[in-house]
Amino acid sequence: MGIGNPDFDSYRLSDEQRMLRAAVRALAEDKIAPRAAEIDETAEFPYDVRDALVRSGFHAVHVPEEYGGMGADAISGCIVVEEVARVCASSSLIPAVNKLGSQPVILSGSEDLKKQVLPPLASGEAMFSYALSEREAGSDAAAMRTRAVLDGEHWVLNGTKCWITNAGVSTHYTVMAVTDPQHGANGISAFVVHQDDPGFSVGAKERKLGIKGSPTCEIYFENCTIPADRIIGEPGTGFKTALRTLDHTRLAIGAQALGIAQGALDASVAYIKERRQFGKRIADFQGIQFMVADMAMRIEAARHLVYAAAARAERDEPNLTFTSAAAKVFASDTAMSVTTDAVQLFGGYGFTKDFPVERMMRDAKITQIYEGTNQINRMVMARQLVK
């Protein structure tokens, strides 16, 4: 789009993307929304939702066509996560984390490794998780202690990773480990570990504020032995791959936050049109109107930023790092403010589990924390501006 010669048609979703949104929304309303409260209450992984997403092909739309996937563009991937998150944030982590876990392979893996692990993901036989963080190396990921040593035709891993989303459910894990302690971040490599590899195990589930239907656990490597060809890229390139991955996958968290916020707004508008006080709908009070107007305005701004960042990711533009961090921060801050306002609009009812907005507020909080806290992402943005 050039100045003075704008192509306005380029700034809208394609017919295919609009059809995709309608299809995912229909599935979400039919199969996922009725289960959302129960998923949150029981804190159990929703295998039925996973199966419904697999049958519809929405569990991992990002996998390229040559490996059996849909080969969806980045905006379409965001739409899938957004529409599922609109009714159930826990369920939206199925497509979001499948992308997070497998994106390093797509970006840096050998052709043989891609052929080995991406087709099972595309078919729904497998799920992928991502293992970067450690208890003493959260935001300071380069300080990790998990080690990997080459022993003949195998790599042997030892260490612990924490906060692993969908741990115990996923079959494959992209794991970052130190292979050369003398070179800091440049001594970190990436590997694919399978749940059946000897020496791999999963710990107990964390007890969490929100996204309770998505298990979060520690994972352990005790002389965990994997074939040498399961390294992702060359030794020492793992941390670079991790950062490139986050440039792409922070968009999914922005989309998740966007969906949560939209769900809260939809519930709020429906409620204020029905709820009556002082003889009229509370939707007729100017103070209430100002609140929902601000909520909708922030959501609309967040949606455009997420989609613009996704378009940059699709083009692999050099300024993607700033834009993806900005989209994640803005959308997650929006989700937190919108869901908090939604609870306020519902009054005492909003503080009960009889209505979905309290769950949405709890779920929204994590979007400000994972895939880089919003404070870390602000540092990422600032460094891009001043470098």
Confirm if 147 and 157 have CB atoms less than 8 A apart: yes
Q: Which residue has the tokens 């009812």?
A: 349
CA-wise closest residue to 166 among 212, 135, 200: 212
In angstroms, the CA 157 to CA 231 distance is 12
Token pair for 370: 């994972």
Contacts of 102 (CB under 8 A, 6+ apart): 60, 62, 63, 117, 118, 121, 128, 172, 174
How many other CB atoms are found less than 10 A from the CB of residue 332? 30
pLDDT of residue 9: 44
In angstroms, the CA 264 to CA 339 distance is 6
Burial (0-12, 13-18, 19+ Cβ within 10 Å), 173: buried
Confirm if 24 and 52 have CB atoms less than 8 A apart: no
For residue 199, the SS3 value is coil
The domains found in the chain, sorted by start residue, are 8-123 (1.10.540.10), 128-237 (2.40.110.10), 239-386 (1.20.140.10)
Confirm if 123 and 94 have CB atoms less than 8 A apart: no
Residues in the chain: 387
State the amino acid at position 17 in one-letter form.
Q
pLDDT of residue 280: 97
State the amino acid at position 346 in one-letter form.
F
State the amino acid at position 374 in one-letter form.
N
CA-wise closest residue to 376 among 248, 262, 228, 246: 246
Token pair for 298: 């922030």
pLDDT per residue as tens, the chain (387 positions): 334 444 434 578 999 999 999 999 999 999 999 999 999 999 999 999 999 999 999 999 999 999 999 999 999 999 999 999 999 999 999 999 999 999 999 999 999 999 999 999 999 999 999 999 999 998 888 899 999 999 999 999 999 999 999 999 999 999 999 999 999 999 999 999 999 999 999 999 999 999 999 999 999 999 999 999 999 999 999 999 999 999 999 999 999 999 999 999 999 999 999 999 999 999 999 999 999 999 999 999 999 999 999 999 999 898 999 999 999 999 999 999 999 999 999 999 999 999 999 999 999 999 999 999 999 999 999 999 998
Catalytic-residue membership of 317:
no
How many other CB atoms are found less than 10 A from the CB of residue 42? 12
Token pair for 28: 């979400």
